[in-house]
A and B are shown apart, each in its own frame.
Chain A
């Protein structure tokens, strides 16, 4: 595709609800990243995929967060039993390879947990 696509653009969830955020990277991009950005802060790393392999999930804040990329293209970030502190913008990015490549970001999903 022309760019990284994320959906939904906005998501409002009640506390305790499960949510799923989708990322469609640029076609052919090997690497895919998820970041969490709180208001007024820089993005914080959550997890990294190379093709379908999740190589680093050290940034996931708790076991309520789960990410997958089963066929090495589209990725889903799932948050179970959402809490108010999960409210943030979730950004997805992709790149052609794993090193020294520019990252292309989607517009993000703004999650608000009430």
Chain B
């Protein structure tokens, strides 16, 4: 059974810092890996999708990498802003489902 682990569970940084969120998964037989953002009381918003044949994806200040063989992904957030405060979830797509980690709760203080 696929297991997804995210480290750290929570992170607090001052505005302007660059930061890295980590995700690891146990079964490398995946179709893709996705990073989501979840604001309190809201659904999930897809940030980046990396297909299994790709190494990284970028969107604005976000960059996600994928090392499928080692079962790892990182989400890099450059020049963090208070509006980035949210929970960030990593998920891997297997046969028909996404398996999620528990998320990293990020707080960016002004």
Contact = CB atoms under 8 A, between A and B. Distances in A.
Contact of A100 (B49, B89, B101): B49
Contact of A42 (B45, B51, B95, B101): B101
A42 B34 contact: no
Contacts of A48: 96-97
Interface string A88-114: 000101000011111111111000000
Contact of B31 (A45, A55, A99): A99
B100 A43 contact: yes
Interface string A36-63: 0000111111001000000110010000
Contact-size category for A: 20 to 34
B-side interface mostly: strand
B91 interface: yes
B31 A100 contact: yes
B96 A91 contact: no
Nearest to B48: A102
Contact of B89 (A33, A42, A55, A104): A42
A113 to B, nearest CB: 19
A103 B46 contact: yes
A4 interface: yes
B97 A42 contact: no
B28 interface: no
Interface of A: 4, 33, 40-45, 48, 55-56, 59, 91, 93, 98-108
29 contacts: A4-B43, A33-B98, A40-B102, A42-B4, A42-B101, A42-B102, A43-B44, A43-B89, A45-B97, A45-B98, A45-B99, A48-B96, A56-B95, A56-B96, A91-B43, A93-B43, A99-B31, A99-B93, A100-B31, A100-B51, A100-B93, A102-B34, A103-B34, A103-B98, A105-B36, A105-B45, A105-B46, A107-B41, A107-B42
Q: Which 9 A/B pairs are nearest by Cβ-Cβ distance?
A: A42-B100, A105-B43, A45-B97, A102-B46, A105-B44, A56-B96, A107-B43, A42-B102, A43-B100
